Homo-oligomer: A and B are copies of this chain.
Amino acid sequence: MSKKIAILTSGGDCAGLNAVIRAITHRAHKLGWEAIGLENGTAGILEDPPRVRALKPGDFGGTLMRQGGTILGTTNSKNPFQYEMPNGEIKDRSDEIIAAFKALEIDAIIGIGGDGSFAILNKLAEQGGLNLVGIPKTIDNDLDMTDFSVGFDTAVAVATEALDRLQPTAASHDRVMLLEVMGRDAGHIALTAGIAGGVDIILIPEIPYNVESIAKKIAAVKESGRNFALVIVSEAVKTPGGEKLEVVYHGGEKRYGGIAEYLGPKVAEATGFETRVTVLGHVQRGGSPTYNDRLLASAFGVKAVELVNEGKFGRMVAWQDHNVVDVPIEDAIKRCRTVGPDDMLMHTARSLGISFGDE
């Protein structure tokens, strides 16, 4: 009887997950494993009957790998160790989940997630003696020990395209355009799209900035004879005073308001330029994955099954030196991979005259 791999997707959405699931299914099938999809992750396995579905190569013959999202859904923020019950009670259901895996006679789990998901899955695996392999996915690209995680490439492509749309209208109408992109703790999306999108200023959480420096850079742009400027800012950036903005309230109503909306009026005032703010939001997470994300997804999915087949557990597949390798999951989640001071792209950006609002 063939052995079973369970696949689950977990955490925030990104493009390329269906391509990962497809690759796992194909490779498992070839190596004689059965592939089982867990719907809604560890939350679905607790339902009665558990929400599982058999996965066959033939399920993926059509457009699925070209589509965003994940056919397996997510845990919807249900933490096995602090599970929120319908009555609001918080409960540790990790033993139930482990029992459910065993009842389904699952031999190995491939978890597709980010650092948060891996921390939970790893703990679960250790507690229950489950065989876990991880595949990194996060648009933020902040998982350590891998150059790329699934979803990042698409997010940067979407952000760059937004800058391509904002530039001509900025130029026609003498404006500063401020684009806020995602990146919860790290500035990779902003840094990468900022260079590719030809911005004047990049603001990322790794580098303290001030409004005066922004104004100075924009004044220099104006001085050079250009009538517009482009600024990209990561959502993780705090106010110059160090405040993290998330939501504001207005007359009892909950209102959103992030760093770009905070900075917009300040930049306008400091520069005299009309300033417009765009908050790109969830379009960065969805839509058809770029070819690079599909490629990464395919190589990762194949490798993860091979690790399972070789009995190498507790590993995360990773992209290093233009190749697929594997690293210990626990090492990969030890720290958030932020933009370092010696990052080659930082140097590239500064060499192109891009300011980080810090000088």
Residues of A within 8 A of B (CB): 9, 12-13, 17, 22-23, 26-27, 30, 57-58, 60-63, 65-70, 73-74, 76, 147, 153, 156-158, 160-162, 164-174, 177, 192-193, 195-198, 221, 224-227, 248-250, 253-257, 261-262, 264-266, 276-283, 285-288, 290-292, 294-295, 298-299, 302, 320-324, 344-345, 347-348, 351-353
A261 partner residues in chain B, CB cutoff 8 A = 255-257
**Most interface-central of A225, A279, A286 (chain B CB within 10 A):** A286
A169 partner residues in chain B, CB cutoff 8 A = 13, 68-69, 282, 285-286
A353 touches B30 (CB 8 A): yes
**Nearest CB of B to A84, in Å:** 13
B291 touches A192 (CB 8 A): yes
B283 touches A198 (CB 8 A): no
A294 touches B166 (CB 8 A): no
Out of B27, B250, B344, B345, name the residue touching A250 (CB < 8 Å).
Answer: B250
| Copies of this protein in the complex | 4
In the assembled complex, 9 residue pairs joining A and B whose CB atoms fall closer than 8 Å, in A order, are: A26-B352, A30-B353, A66-B164, A76-B174, A157-B291, A164-B288, A278-B280, A279-B279, A323-B344
Q: In the complex, A121→B294 CA distance in Å?
A: 37
**Most interface-central of A158, A282, A290, A299 (chain B CB within 10 A):** A282
A174 partner residues in chain B, CB cutoff 8 A = 73, 76
B168 touches A344 (CB 8 A): no
Nearest neighbor of A256 in chain B, beta-carbon distance = B261
B299 touches A344 (CB 8 A): yes
A67 partner residues in chain B, CB cutoff 8 A = 63, 168
**Nearest CB of B to A14, in Å:** 8
Q: In the complex, A250→B253 CA distance in Å?
A: 12
Out of B12, B198, B286, name the residue touching A168 (CB < 8 Å).
Answer: B286
Out of B12, B27, B265, name the residue touching A254 (CB < 8 Å).
Answer: B265
Out of B76, B158, B292, name the residue touching A292 (CB < 8 Å).
Answer: B292
Which 6 residue pairs are nearest across A and B when measured between Cβ atoms? A69-B168, A165-B287, A169-B286, A68-B168, A69-B172, A196-B291
Q: In the complex, A280→B351 CA distance in Å?
A: 31
A171 touches B69 (CB 8 A): yes
